[in-house]
Chains A and B, each alone.
Chain A
């Protein structure tokens, strides 16, 4: 267990600002396994459906990219500001990010040996201007739904080994054809 220095860090989103989302899901695997999968940040695009890529630049720092319409790329750098192995970590985006964001993920053993409660708490501040419009379009539907769906995908990926999909299955064209 180790705790990184948290004193005197400028929060990336001032309190009272931004959009806050909290959501939990139970994954039927032991906490160390669930933690390890999530903490390997390169895994995240497999279930966070807006995230195109995450590159870990060192133990604490990572670079995030989201593909936006018309060839635009929304990107930011993040840093882990607190970490307790197999238990939780917190991050915040660094100055110069397209979308300021910060949050924590906890990995809590579920009662009755039912696996791990993964609890995420995050905040993001949509930028102003044209970039803001791009972000709003991406996260537009309802951020809670986005996170809920991402967590369902995460759970399925870990428990079932794949994410259920119907993308690409047959259906009749509009109006049908005989």
Chain B
């Protein structure tokens, strides 16, 4: 089959690879009908996530049709249309039972390696490095879905792929980011980063009752998209603190979402310093946005972090967070917790996630898709791929 494979920094290729096969009783094989490039794939593309290996199949946002099931998969059958969460979860362990699906104990074949880094192993993820299990991803014609009986969500007839594909990651990720804010009536939520996760966080914050959302980015078309959702927009590059303070009557947003993560840009001196340190591997992550979110958040507020961080942060203003009594919430999304209720919202017409798509490409054009997305070329916000 054809699959998008990682070969190194800014080097992805569409290769011929063997078709996937059932390896375990709870596996299923799906024929992929639509897949997408995620903003977090760009961290892989930029070579900033450790333990990628040349030849790894990329992709963790995908859906398709079941073509084969392992003997323990009783709830799915050939022909079912499913969306697959990017987190792989067993459904049985302490963490799955408590809806902490991305922290599953039993799905990371490299549990020991993961433990060496984090103290305790985290769940396997599709196409997201060997620390996260080394699972082949779904930017391909077919994919093996481990633990398909708890992961894969059946999609009712009549809903097109583009409306439901993003249940695999970015919609639940934006939603969990907003939910983690504990939004109360009257709240103002600041959202840094108006890429796909930021866009879903903005809309989710409104769905959860926020009175006002302040959206911050430096890319005009992304701000325009945020405005369409009803957000107040701020064009900025790490220099928005004063304007946020003014906009919130000197109080600060009740909660702040960092939907950027480890590769924030920023135009300030500190941001340039971050870039230099990251380039020479003195620091792994550029936490520019996170610093500003902590600085801008009101006293006693919440900073919610859906943006991916991978390692060590320099000049993390922990004292500021402490002095203001902030709550910090973060982590990989517990996708299966959010899939059914968000599917319902899509069915009810509360939201149509396909608004985010700007580029539709063939799978074979994935390398151009990565390049366009990375450079935000041609107003690129979200790329979907058709195998």
Contact = CB atoms under 8 A, between A and B. Distances in A.
Interface of A: 26, 28, 114-115, 145, 148-149, 152, 155-156, 159-178
B14 to A, nearest CB: 7
B64 to A, nearest CB: 15
B136 A170 contact: yes
Nearest to A170: B17
A149 B112 contact: yes
A159 B105 contact: yes
17 contacts: A26-B94, A28-B97, A149-B112, A152-B121, A155-B105, A161-B26, A161-B72, A163-B109, A165-B109, A166-B134, A168-B21, A171-B53, A171-B136, A172-B5, A172-B15, A172-B17, A178-B14
Size range of the chain B interface in the assembly? 35 or more
A178 B106 contact: no
Given A114-B94, A160-B147, A164-B133, A176 B26 contact: no
Contacts of B93: 28, 159-160
Q: Which secondary structure dominates chain B's binding surface?
A: loop
A160 to B, nearest CB: 4
B106 A156 contact: yes
B107 A164 contact: yes
A155 B106 contact: yes
B261 interface: no
B142 to A, nearest CB: 8
A168 B107 CA distance: 16
Interface in B44-94: 53-57, 72, 88, 90-94
Contact of B23 (A155, A159, A165): A165
B135 interface: yes
Given A160-B147, A172-B57, A178 B24 contact: no
A145 B111 CA distance: 10
B7 interface: yes
Given A152-B111, A176-B7, A169 B92 contact: no
Contacts of A164: 24, 88, 106-109, 124, 133, 146
Contacts, number: 115
Contacts of B115: 148
B211 interface: no
Interface in B1-47: 1, 3, 5, 7, 13-21, 23-26
Q: Which secondary structure dominates chain A's binding surface?
A: loop
A26 B94 CA distance: 10
Nearest to B92: A159
Nearest to A148: B112
Nearest to B54: A174
A35 B7 CA distance: 46
B364 to A, nearest CB: 9
A176 B18 CA distance: 12
A12 to B, nearest CB: 28
A114 B98 CA distance: 12
Interface centre among B17, B107, B136, B144 (most CB of A within 10 A): B17
Nearest to B14: A178
Interface string B118-140: 00010010000000011110001
Given A149-B112, A160-B106, A176-B7, A166 B136 contact: yes
B326 to A, nearest CB: 30
A149 B57 contact: no
Contacts of A165: 23-24, 109
Contacts of A145: 112
A159 B17 contact: no
Interface centre among A26, A155, A161, A174 (most CB of B within 10 A): A161
A167 B198 CA distance: 36
The 4 closest A-B pairs by CB, nearest first: A160-B90, A172-B55, A172-B15, A172-B5
Given A170-B3, A171-B57, A172-B15, A162 B25 contact: yes
A108 to B, nearest CB: 16
Nearest to B121: A152
Contact of A167 (B23, B91, B105): B23
Interface string B333-352: 00000000000000000000
Contact of B92 (A26, A160, A172, A178): A160
Contacts of B16: 177
Contacts of B7: 172, 175-176
A114 B107 CA distance: 19
Given A148-B112, A164-B107, A164-B133, 12 more contacts: A161-B25, A165-B23, A165-B109, A166-B23, A169-B23, A170-B17, A170-B20, A171-B17, A172-B7, A172-B56, A173-B15, A178-B14
